[in-house]
Amino acid sequence: MQRRKFLKTVGIASGASMIPFLKYLPANAAAPDGTLVVVSGSGINSFDLHRKGTNRPSYQVTVNIYDRLVRFGVKTLEDGSMSYDSTKIEPEVAESWTISDDGKLLTFKINPKAKFWDGTPVTAKDVKWSFDRAVSLGGFPFVQMKAGSMTKPEQFIAADDKTFQIKIPKASKLTLPDLAVPIPFIINSKVALKNATKDDPWATEYLHKNPAGSGAYKISRWDPGQQFVYERNDDWALGPKPGVKRVIVREVPSSSTRRALTERGDADLYMNVPPKDSKEFSEKGKVLVSGAPIDNCLHVLALNLKYPPFDNVKVRQAIAYALPYKDIISAAAYGRGKPMFGGKSMTPSDISWPQPFPYDTDLGKAKALLTEGGFENGFETTLSFNLGLADWQEPTCLLIQESLSKIGIKVKLEKIPGASWRTAALVEKRLPMHMENFGGWLNYPDYYFFWAYKYGHLFNSSNYKNPKVEALVDKTLHMSVEDPQYSKNVKKLISYAFTDVPRIPLYQPYLDAAMQKNVTGYASWFHRQLDVRGISKS
């Protein structure tokens, strides 16, 4: 295929018609030099992460086309894979910052090299407008900003064009890292305001399809349900120049097709590779696999205390002893998971999180606890899983179903479409026993407990309520890790999780990607999306 025809096919040429992806990709190389072809199982639905209804894949766009005040660093792991570094915060739009002695005022100096795509400088007024927007539109963006003690526009101050300040009610270890997550991105407020209306003062309809950023990449094309295309912003000066000029992200719903495209060399990079494919890619050695355990993330079996007998702690502990952990790691995770079972004591010795729970497969203990709980003859229940994550959840559920039957618990499996899962499991919290996955963006154990163990919070799909846990989370969330009480409080939190087991950890999952051998610089990120800024293709 000629280079000119290929570029027209993927839609870089203005007005090019869509041509089926599989028919026209070259057989021997994914794309011309300087172009990276990425295959993904699901596509974006917006360019605006603040907008209500924006889906998870769209987080990727925000990461690559918008800048933030600060960003996390990157580290190399023992196996040579790369991952973000939650302990390292680096400048981005802010070239420097200071924190007042009482920890309640953060002052940022804007880098004069920060410029929007239209050439105008990024100012403190743009940062304030963007932050005001994040806390005013509600929903997930507001809750994420709240984690960093940012809830009101009055907290954000444009002291002058190059000085931006944040006032927080009390010192918090979460505020600075919360500025490095995808949510507090910086918008060209001048462009946005020109396209705002009385009914839409935050220009959500305009920014939904027309980004106005300063980031390392721009969007040159979006064909919903098919592809979107990044073009490098060669004027970006807030970090090393990205190694790839153009990135084509194609939506390919079938995992077997994504695998075939990668094996043939028709795709350069495949994100979120299922564990089975990761294992087999590694064994064949034709493509590289890079991955790391996802920080602050667990695959769990959740037991909903709203539905008896899961309100009985003996029953929950019995199930924790009945799960076939090793089989799940082997047959469902294909070894791409860090075991979270087999802990030595109900009292944690340290505050590492996640850490193995003190349960392992012991059907004798399980049966005894079930009898103590008043269910000597077992009971019947339903185990629900997300069809959108069936690659690991379905085999896991089949193994759990088989193992629980050995202690008299008869389990019926329920398959829920991915589009309905969030509502059923997290919003309405109406699933008695179900698979769940949550990873906290800020890598602290108390932050995980804030989301997954506090009653009424989104990821507490177990309807777990413990006043002592509530108080400990509130006391610890913004506390410095150097405070002697921090370690004490976190150990108490973990011990409650051990004893009460509303969520039974199975393993800490890996985020894996497969790529051609000429692709370098890929790193795993806490948000589980692709950051293309550090990637090169030789």
- Residue range 459-477, pLDDT digits in tens: 999 999 999 999 999 999 9
Residue of 219, 216, 221 lying closest to 235 (CA atoms) = 216
Architecture per CATH, domain 297-510, reads as Roll (3.10)
- pLDDT (tens digit per residue) in 286-306: 999 998 899 999 999 999 999
Q: State pTM to two decimals.
A: 0.88
Q: Give backbone dihedrals phi and psi of 291, rounded to 5 degrees, phi first.
A: -165, 165
Closest CA to 506 of 384, 347, 337, 344: 337
Number of neighbouring beta carbons within 10 Å of residue 383:
22
Percent of the chain with pLDDT over 90: 87
CA–CA distance, 208 with 51 (Å, rounded to integer): 7
Q: Which residues contact 4 (CB under 8 A, 6 or more apart)?
A: none
What is the token pair recorded at 511?
């985020």
Instruction: Give domain 67-195's CATH superfamily.
Output: Dipeptide-binding Protein; Domain 1 (3.90.76.10)
The residue assigned the tokens 């994504």 is 258
User: 275-284 and 255-264 are packed helices; what angle lies between their axes, rounded to 10 degrees?
Assistant: 20
SS3 31: coil
Q: Where are the alpha helices (DSSP H) in 266-356?
A: 275-284, 313-322, 325-327
What is the pLDDT, as a whole number, of residue 1? 37
**CA separation, residue 19 to residues 22, 223, 246, 266 (Å):** 9, 12, 19, 15
Summarize the confidence of residues 106-114 as an average pLDDT. 98
What does the angle CA 272 – CA 252 – CA 33 come to, to the nearest 5 degrees? 80
Rounded distance between C-alpha atoms, residue 377 and residue 459, angstroms: 32
Compute the distance between CA of residue 532 and CA of residue 216 in angstroms, rounded to an integer.
Answer: 9
pLDDT of residue 24: 38
**What angle is formed at CA 272 by the lines to CA 72 and CA 336, rounded to 5 degrees?**
95
Tell me the three-class secondary structure of 132-159, residue by residue.
HHHHHCCHHHHHHHHHCCCCCHHHEEEE
Give me the pLDDT at residue 55, please. 87
Tokens of 118: 């239209």
Helix axes 275-284, 390-405, angle to 10 degrees: 110
**Residue 138: which region, alpha, beta or left (left: phi > 0; alpha: psi -120 to 50)?**
left
User: Residue 140: which pLDDT band, with cuts at 50, 70 and 90?
Assistant: confident
pLDDT of residue 6: 34
Per-residue exposure over 414-438, b if at least 16 CB sit within 10 Å of its own CB, e if not: eebeeeebeebbbeebebbbbbbbb
Angle in degrees, CA 55, 88, 161, rounded to 5: 75
Structure tokens at 213: 């950023």
Average pLDDT of the chain, as a whole number = 92
| Sequence-ordered list of residues with C-beta below 8 angstroms from that of 518, at least 6 positions apart, any chain | 537, 538
Q: Which of 297, 269, 241, 343 is nearest to 86 (CA)?
A: 297
Is 228 within 8 Å of 222 (Cβ atoms)? Answer: yes
Predicted local confidence at residue 12, as pLDDT: 35
Residue spans per domain, the chain:
67-195, 297-510
Tens digit of each residue's pLDDT (9 = 90 or more) over 376-423: 999 999 999 999 889 899 999 999 999 999 999 999 999 999 889 989
Q: The tokens of 467 are what?
A: 């006043």
What pLDDT, in 10s, does the model give residues 230-269? 999 999 999 999 999 999 999 999 989 999 999 999 999 9
For the stretch 79-104, pLDDT in tens is: 889 999 999 999 999 999 999 999 99
Q: How far apart are CA 248 and CA 221, in angstroms?
A: 9
Q: Which pLDDT value is given to residue 31? A: 61
| 127-165 per-residue burial string, b: 16 or more CB within 10 A, e: under 16 | bbbbbbbbbebeeebbebbebbbbeeeebbbbeeebebb
Give residue for tokens 């079972």. Answer: 341
Is the pLDDT score of 113 beyond 50?
A: yes
User: Measured between alpha carbons, how far is 111 from 90 in angstroms, rounded to an integer?
Assistant: 13
CA pair distance 500, 310, nearest whole angstrom? 11
Residue 32: the pLDDT is: 66
The secondary element (H helix, E strand) that includes residue 403 is helix 390-405
Quick one: pLDDT band at residue 201, thresholds 50, 70, 90?
very high
Backbone φ and ψ of 318, nearest 5° = -60, -45
Kindly state the tokens that stand for 209. 């399809």
Q: For the residues of 408-477, what is the DSSP string, one character each?
A: TEEEEEEEE-HHHHIIIIIIS---SEEEEEEE-SS--HHHHHHHHTSTTSTT-TT----HHHHHHHHHHT
| Tens-place pLDDT, residues 148-194 | 999 999 999 999 999 999 999 999 999 999 999 999 999 999 999 99
Q: State yes or no: pLDDT of 16 exceeds 50.
A: no
Mean pLDDT of 323-343: 95
| Neighbour count for residue 27 (Cβ, 10 Å) | 8
pLDDT tens by residue, 17-71? 333 444 434 434 456 668 999 999 888 999 999 998 888 889 999 999 999 999 9
- Does 458 score more than 90 pLDDT? no
Compute the half-sphere exposure of residue 58: CA atoms within 13 Å on the CB side of its CA: 20
Element (H, E) at 302: strand 297-303
pLDDT at 320 (0 to 100): 98
Contact in structure between 535 and 364 (CB atoms under 8 Å): no
